[in-house]
Structure 1
Amino acid sequence: MPAPLGSGAAQDFGKGPHVISGIIFDKDGTLFDFNATWGAWTRAMLIAEAGDDPILCERLAAVLGYDMENARFLPGSVVIASTVEEVADAILGVVPATDKDALLARMNAGSMKVAQVEAVPLRAYVAQLRQIGLTLGVVTNDAETPALRHLEGAGIRADFAFVAGYDSGFGAKPGPGQLHGFCRATGLAPDACIMVGDSTHDLHAGRAAGMMTIAVLTGPAPRAELEGLADVVLRDIGEIPAWLQRERLIPG
């Protein structure tokens, strides 16, 4: 069940028909289930980076907040909301002899091949949102090239009017630069948009940009960590259309 509304922002926005015109999604943990997508891949990546050294591998797992036994990220993991470069820096703190550019190249090349586990069936979902009349965007702290590849793999790249990674020139979350970029690209005002994500970085970015925020629980962060920053906490993105209708933020 959704959590109660936080600051009352939804009631303030929902005074007329179709006051929400744009929805911006985080990618990992929001459009795609975080642990289901990245859990097993990260285990293999850490083993490879550690050179099959089990002690070094455990040290890498600890610094990244990763449970090797269960192939899952722990709440508070640096990986949840950080950029690829920040994750690489964490790895380099354990294996400093590794070349950063080479590490980033391996991480980006590997991530593009990872099968993404959709939080909900995405083709039908984004088609529903566009039929409502919403303009869609994706902002991620992943690099832009893997992000585009993942959207293309899901068959939904063309449904998004704006896609930005941390390296797209808008900065990274929790800063609002990517969200401002969406507004400039689409002509929508921030108060006509919602930021949807699974981490505090997503929600801080949305608040800083002057947008409503929706938190989802398809990432490692628990409800208690998210609900103070969100207008609502939902199980997954599939619950958003019904919530928008209940709050009179769209027609119907």
Structure 2
Amino acid sequence: MPIDAILFDKDGTLFDFANTWGAFGRNLVLRLADGDHARAAELGRVIGFDLETATYAEDSIVIAATVEEIAEVLIEYVSAMSLEELLDVLNSEAAAAPQAQAVPLVPFLDGLRQAGFKLGVATNDSEMPALQHLASVGIREHFDFVAGYDSGHGFKPGPGQLLAFATHVGVDPEQVAMVGDSLHDLQAGRAAGMTTIGVLTGIAPAEALAPMADVVLPDIGHIPGWLAKN
């Protein structure tokens, strides 16, 4: 069946993960440690983040988990803070993270819309920071649907967000492509019965994504060419 709609993960897909979230990790752990560098480095290790290099381990919880899951891991190390306060810090730092576009997004998305595709975003980030990130680079209005983990549809690797998108735009799941940089994205796509496209602008290497992907591409900019051949 032809692809009529495309659903994108956000971090590591629309935005290059390493270039976007390195600053977030550094700012977050230093804030939680009140500027104590050694303490910040320890907190970084808890979430799979290296403060010195501002990089994440392949199995870092930050890559695909929800804000609540990250907070649950960190809370025992920041005992002076309530879970609600920690969530507020995570969300505010996430919202402020400068977004490094994986490709120039306005012309890329303009091209997809002009070609007739329905477009959406499904992220395990909270909805509020997600909307701010999209708006910060002028692409909020390019999407027919945006869902965070807290939007009422569940979160990946569950298929709830994906099926909600298909329903919202009136397209059969078999005619939707799910695009992401993590196994969570691709597992969700498979569970929803969608075509799955892996991209390498996150942390996961091609060999990790390949078992769950119909194709693995360098970045989202290669999607139109691939769709034209399939």
Q: TM-score, normalised by structure 2?
A: 0.97
Q: Distance in 2 between matches of 1:220 and 1:106?
A: 24
Counterpart Cα distance in 2 of 1:228 and 1:67: 28
Task: Within 5 Å, give how 1:205-224 maps onto structure 2.
Answer: 205-224=188-207
User: Which residue identity does 2:171 align to in structure 1?
Assistant: L
CA contact (8 A) 2:187 2:212 kept: yes
Q: SS at the partner of 2:77?
A: coil
Alpha-carbon separation, structure 2, partners of 1:52 and 1:114: 18
Matched residue type, 2:117: L
Question: What's 1:122 paired with?
Answer: 105
Instruction: Quote the residue 1:86 is aligned against.
Output: 69
For the Cα contact (< 8 Å) 1:59–1:94, is it kept in 2? no
Q: Is 1:166 the equivalent of 2:149? A: yes
Separation in structure 2 between the aligned mates of residue 185 and residue 208 of structure 1, nearest angstrom:
18
Larger radius of gyration: 1
Aligned-pair distance for 1:228? 0.8
2:4 maps to 1:36: no
Q: C-alpha displacement at 1:111, in angstroms?
A: 1.8
> Contact 2:198 / 2:210 at 8 angstroms: preserved in 1?
yes
Q: Which amino acid aligns with 1:100?
A: L
For 1:222 and 1:67, how far apart are their aligned partners in 2?
Answer: 19
Say if 2:23 and 2:97, in contact at 8 Å, map to a contact too.
Answer: no
Q: Does residue 103 of structure 1 match 2:99? A: no
Correspondence for 1:226? 209
RMSD between aligned residues: 1.1
Match of 2:137 in 1: 154
Unaligned stretches of 5+ residues in structure 1: 1-12, 14-18, 248-252
Alpha-carbon offset, residue 59 of structure 1? 2.3
Equivalent residue number for residue 115 of structure 2: 132
Output one character per residue of 1:35-71: Cα deviation in whole Å (capped at 9) or x when no partner.
1011022112101102233443222111211121110
Is 1:179 the counterpart of 2:147? The answer is no
1:176–1:208 contact (8 Å) kept in structure 2? yes
Count of residues in correspondence between the two structures: 230
Distance in 1 of aligned mates of 2:93 and 2:62: 15
CA distance, structure 1, for counterparts of residue 110 and residue 122 of structure 2: 19
- 8 Å CA contact 2:24–2:97 kept in 1: the answer is yes
1:244 counterpart = 2:223: no
Q: Quick one: higher RCO (CA 8 Å, sep 6+), 1 or 2? A: 1
In 2, Cα distance between equivalents of 1:58 and 1:161: 40
Q: Show the counterpart of 1:192.
A: 175
Distance in 1, matches of 2:176 and 2:188, equals 12
Distance 2:160 2:24 in 1: 30
State the shift of 1:154 in Å. Answer: 1.3
User: Counterpart in 1 of 2:54?
Assistant: 71
- SS of the residue corresponding to residue 177 of structure 2 reads strand
Query: 2:158, 2:43 → 1: CA distance?
Result: 27
Q: Deviations over 1:89-115 (max 9, x none)?
A: 111132233211111112212222221
3-state SS of 1:119 partner: coil
Of the structure 1 ranges 53-62 and 189-198, higher mean CA displacement relative to structure 2 is found in 53-62
In structure 1, the residue matched to 2:9 is 26
